[in-house]
Amino acid sequence: MCARDPAQNPIAMNETGLRSWTDRLFDFVPQVVALFGALLVGAIMLLLIGVNPWEAYRAAFTGVFGSKNGLSDMLVKATPLLLVALGTCIAFRANVINIGAEGQLIMGALATTWLAVEMGSAAPAWLLILLCMLIGFVAGGAWGAIPGYLKARLGVNEILSTVMLNQIAIQLGFFLLRGVMMDPAERAAGTNLPHSARLPAVADLPRFTDIAKSLGFTQTAKQLGLDGMTAEFYGLFAEPTRLHLGLIFAIIAAIVVYILLWRTTVGYRIRAVGFNPAAARYAGFRVRAYVVLALTLSGALAGLAGAVEILGLHHRMFEPTSVSAGYGFSGIVVALFGRLHPLGAIPSALLFGALLVGGDKMQRAMQIPQPLVTALLGLVVLFVVSADYWTKKRATRIHVKREPTPAGTSASAGAAAD
Amino acid sequence: MADSGLLPSGQKRIDSLAVRGIVKRFPGVLANDRVDFDVKSGEIHALLGENGAGKSTLMKILYGLYQPDAGEILLNGQPIEIRSPGDSMRYGIGMIHQHFMLVDNLTVTENVALGLRSTRAPMLDLEVVEARIRTLTERYQLQVDPKAIVGRLAVGQQQRVEIIKALYRGGALLVLDEPTAVLTPQEVAELFAIMRQMAREGHALVFISHKLHEVLDVTDRVTVLRNGAVVGNVATKATTRRELAQLMVGRPVTFARPERPEINGRVRLRVAGASAFNERGQRLLDDVTLEVHAGEIVGVAGVSGNGQRALAEAIAGLQPLRSGTIVLDDRTITEASASDRIGMGIGYIPEERMHDGVVKDFSVSDNLILRDLPSAHVARNGFLRFKSVAERSRKLISDFQVKTPSLETPIKNLSGGNIQKVIMARELSLKPRLLVAAQPTRGVDVGASEYIHDRLMEQRAAGTAILLISEDLDEIMQMADRIAVMYEGRIMDIVPHAEATLEKLGLLMAGVVPDASDVEAVPA
């Protein structure tokens, strides 16, 4: 699957005998079919509880694409999903599985909150934000390095250790939020909710609205005489929404991860270690070090997601599981749907952002029980992951058909004929 | 016995098995092209051909693993269909696979009983099985103790267990797929004696091989396959090695030892007193001392698994030593890392080409830089230089005659010979001062083999020190200036080419230091 990836072999572009872009586009057909298959099964479930699926899906669709708030919420949710997915890409490419993004995200959020509250308004906004994101990145990375080290040194299965570290991060978060990090106001009022103090306002990531304002977009869509969809899009910038700069950072991160994996020797080694550790060892790579590195980077990106959530959206730390909000797990699916490619993760994150917001809107509009919405999203995941099988199968077929066979021995048939 | 149509094993004899006009297509390849082939009771029939000639496909059809696209199979003149290995077994066809299908920690009897219905189900009937094994081993002179643990038997004996299994299951026609690949010359002689005995008892045997002298030794008839088609069917007595080689390859082949100038290079590699152990504490290398001079090819002979791999890896920096030293030119490199050793000019062609030598899912061009990342023409400041890499790759591919659709083709889609050429190109492009080549031509067709040998001779002439590790004694005899024989991690002896004979090497490979009487006792 990954081998035919055009981006993996950038020299590919100007070689002959390669697959056309339409061919590659077809790779996504099974995924899209799977998506619709999941919605179809979901429709049956909706029918069974007496809800008109057509109306439910329409409510979901208009909920996302019918209002500027819906659109902005989709993008706001896509942001942490994308960052987590990027981390997942790196880990998967090194053939390690990081299920610990939840914990890493929480550690990033905690560290960011702590630094911002401690520093207060001592530093200029840009420096404070930069430092906060950096510490979130480092904290998540450290939380990822632990299972990495355990795997490399002691052979501890990283799936188990990352899952366990999720629990530890959650409880550590509660411990801190009920202790040293608790908002003094909560303590004074005696309510003792596990919240941190609000971060200093200078640490707030600029929202698109604010940027638009400072650039002079002060007129609303109505004043401009725009209607419909155009107005909504314009409104994203000109009218107040929660959309913040984190989205841009996440997209930049996607490009950086792409460059790292396919344009640098470090990325080459990570992928070589992932595909074939024996050959990587033979090539003189320090295989264990690259396993640790991959898990560290993976954790760091999840930590960055936590930092961005705090700085851009919540502006304070509260219940760890509410901050991570399952992004650590959904992000894995986003990465898989994006075919473990950093750039593929971008549309994939948008789609899953839409699904999350749509599910939410559908639940409210149609009075559907929340567990059913969760089940629907689960169905999508199940179908999409299964669809990969068909994509792979097709890839094999194409190869066998396309590759000329030098001297009667080539392709998969070479092995078969022997 | 012949009248009853029964074999000593109690199985009905197969008077003849014939395939007529078998065609089998795989996408892009015609693996079997109207193949006719037949074997009779009492006959040992060789199926000879290069890798990829279609031998295994034909056998898999007989074993029920593949269905032919056209053609028919006749058993004693009656058409039959073989849809599964179960069918095949019921018809009396038995397979001796190249890789043994045995459970190491069970006894011979338990291995034979495995998968068979017990006569006393649900209880085991191991005594019954054992008794039958004893009758079979006596009848066919297969000396094996039914109570022995399979993992403790020598490779040659394990192979006999496979033969017993096939006989026990009613094999009247036995297919032996490259059975000699893992044996010492002495074990080969014993196997051949067993094969002749089985033929005398009325079995039909198919012997698959690409080793000409073995085919000439043991078989009655030879069918030669090339590119999926039968190109010859001759009586063994009426043919010669040269004729068979020409049929197999499609052009005349020379077996001559290449001309070589005398070496007078200085010592390039010195391994002294090297010992190594694996994680389980098993000894891999036992006080190995070896020198290779510049411009010299030192062959390392030995049966697989006697420390050759550990020796290669120790030199390449992948196997730490517990004691001993490794010196390259005048520099001690015992502690140097694998990547440092690449930089010092140690090239290494690993024996497990697909497992160690390449990243299968990487492109040809990505595989060409696998061991060359620190070079300035591959990367600058940590960023890969695609243009420079592509140019270099294109040149290497044309220099080394690699047949590939493009630079971007995943290397797993290339044939074995072409993959080996890519590895060769990569290692030689590093301009090695020392080249460790492990099984460089295993599983590679004759054409690519010759090419690889030519390149090795070129390197030798250019003053590279070469350590050639091979299980193919013909290759060692043809290429090496001196021959080291390894047995259980030790170097038994290092023999100059002029003094080396197959018998002498064979005994050393079996761990025996030969004296004059031993050498005479073993037939050539």
pLDDT over threshold 60, residue B290: yes
pLDDT over threshold 60, residue B212: yes
**In this structure, are strands B173-177 and B93-96 parallel, antiparallel, or unpaired?**
parallel
Contact B26 A412 (CB under 8 A): yes
Phi and psi at residue B93, in whole multiples of 5°? -100, 125
Find out whether B405 and A27 touch, Cβ atoms under 8 Å: no
Residue A353: both structure tokens together: 């952002």
Residues in CB range of B309: below 8 A, 6 or more apart: B351, B438, B469
**In this structure, are strands B482-487 and B434-438 parallel, antiparallel, or unpaired?**
unpaired
Contact A414 B415 (CB under 8 A): yes
Name every chain A residue with its beta carbon within 8 A of the beta carbon of B444: none
Contact A279 B355 (CB under 8 A): yes
Whole-angstrom CA distances from B126 to B117, B162, B165 are 11, 17, 14
Alpha helices in A155-311 (DSSP H): 158-178, 184-189, 208-214, 221-224, 228-238, 246-263, 265-275, 277-282, 287-309
Give residue A415's pLDDT. 37
Condensed to tens digits (0 to 9), the pLDDT of residues B459-503 reads: 999 999 999 999 888 889 999 999 999 999 999 999 999 999 888
Q: DSSP letters along A306-365, please?
A: HHHHIIIIISS---HHHHHTTHHHHHHHHHHHTTT-TTTHHHHHHHHHHHHHHHHHHHHH
Contact A11 B54 (CB under 8 A): no
Q: In this predicted structure, which of A171-175, B106-110, B238-242, B513-517 has the lowest mean pLDDT? A: B513-517
Domain B267-362+416-521 maps to which CATH number in 3.90.700.10, 2.60.120.10, 3.40.50.300, 3.40.50.1980? 3.40.50.300
| Candidate from B337, B371, B413 with C-beta closest to A411 | B413
Instruction: Please name which of B368, B483, B506, B468 lies closest in space to residue B426, comparing C-alpha atoms.
Output: B368
Contact B28 A410 (CB under 8 A): yes
pLDDT over threshold 90, residue B256: no
What percent of chain B shows pLDDT beyond 70?
Answer: 96
Residue of B227, B397, B408, B444 for testing the chain A interface, max A β-carbons within 10 Å: B408
Is A178 in a helix, a strand, or coil? helix
Give residue A68's pLDDT. 83
Instruction: Please name which of A147, A129, A121, A110 lies closest in space to residue A288, comparing C-alpha atoms.
Output: A147
Residues of chain B with CATH 3.40.50.300: 40-60+92-249, 267-362+416-521
| Candidate from B338, B359, B407 with C-beta closest to A279 | B359
Contact B352 A413 (CB under 8 A): no
Residues in CB range of A371: below 8 A, 6 or more apart: none
Name every chain A residue with its beta carbon within 8 A of the beta carbon of B442: none
Structural domains in chain A plus CATH codes: 80-181+242-399 (1.10.3470)
Contact B406 A401 (CB under 8 A): no
Domain B40-60+92-249 maps to which CATH number in 3.40.50.720, 3.40.50.300, 3.40.50.880, 3.40.50.970? 3.40.50.300
In A, minimum Cα distance to B313 occurs at A282
Distance from CA of A280 to the nearest CA of B (A): 8
In A, minimum Cα distance to B402 occurs at A406
Name every chain B residue with its beta carbon within 8 A of the beta carbon of A284: 317, 337-342, 371
| Candidate from A18, A269, A414 with C-beta closest to B406 | A18
Contact A416 B57 (CB under 8 A): yes
Number of helices (H) and strands (E), helices first, in chain A?
Answer: 20, 0
Distance from CA of A230 to the nearest CA of B (A): 42
Name every chain A residue with its beta carbon within 8 A of the beta carbon of B35: none
Residue with tokens 């909000």: A325
Find out whether B94 and B166 touch, Cβ atoms under 8 Å: yes
Condensed to tens digits (0 to 9), the pLDDT of residues B296-348 reads: 999 999 887 889 999 999 999 999 999 999 999 999 999 999 999 999 999 99
Residue of B30, B340, B415, B446 for testing the chain A interface, max A β-carbons within 10 Å: B415
d(CA A31, CA A347): 13
pLDDT over threshold 70, residue B82: yes
Is B511 in a helix, a strand, or coil? coil
ipTM associated with this complex: 0.81
Name every chain A residue with its beta carbon within 8 A of the beta carbon of B350: 282
Distance from CA of B19 to the nearest CA of A (A): 17
| Candidate from A12, A275, A413 with C-beta closest to B27 | A413
Query: Could you say which DSSP state residue B357 is in?
Result: I
Distance from CA of A254 to the nearest CA of B (A): 17
Residue of A265, A266, A394 for testing the chain B interface, max B β-carbons within 10 Å: A265
Could you give the count of Cα atoms lying within 13 Å of B280 in the half-sphere of its Cβ? 2
| Candidate from B350, B412, B445 with C-beta closest to A282 | B350
Contact B365 A3 (CB under 8 A): no
Total residue count of chain A as it appears in this document: 418
Alpha helices in B369-488 (DSSP H): 386-399, 416-429, 446-461, 473-479
Distance from CA of B74 to the nearest CA of A (A): 23
What percent of chain B shows pLDDT beyond 90?
Answer: 56
Per-residue pLDDT of chain A (418 residues; tens, 9 = 90+): 333 333 333 333 333 334 566 666 676 788 788 888 999 999 999 999 999 999 999 999 999 998 888 999 999 999 999 999 999 999 999 999 999 999 999 999 999 999 999 998 888 999 999 999 999 999 999 999 999 999 999 999 999 999 999 999 999 999 999 999 999 988 888 888 899 999 999 999 999 888 877 777 666 555 666 555 555 556 556 667 889 999 999 999 999 999 999 999 999 999 999 999 999 999 999 999 999 999 999 999 999 999 999 999 999 999 999 999 999 999 998 998 888 999 999 999 999 999 999 999 999 898 888 888 888 888 887 887 788 777 666 665 554 444 433 333 333 333 333 3
Residue A192: both structure tokens together: 């003792």
Contact B359 A280 (CB under 8 A): yes
d(CA B284, CA B488): 7
Give residue B440's pLDDT. 92
Contact A400 B27 (CB under 8 A): yes
Condensed to tens digits (0 to 9), the pLDDT of residues A168-184 reads: 999 999 999 999 999 99
pLDDT over threshold 90, residue B187: no
Please, which residues bridge with residue A298 across strands?
none
Centre a 10 Å sphere on the Cβ of residue B129 and count the other Cβ atoms it contains.
22
Contact B31 A413 (CB under 8 A): yes
What confidence category does residue B133 fall into, taking pLDDT thresholds of 50, 70 and 90? very high
How many inter-chain contacts (A to B, CB under 8 Å) are there? 173
Give residue A337's pLDDT. 84
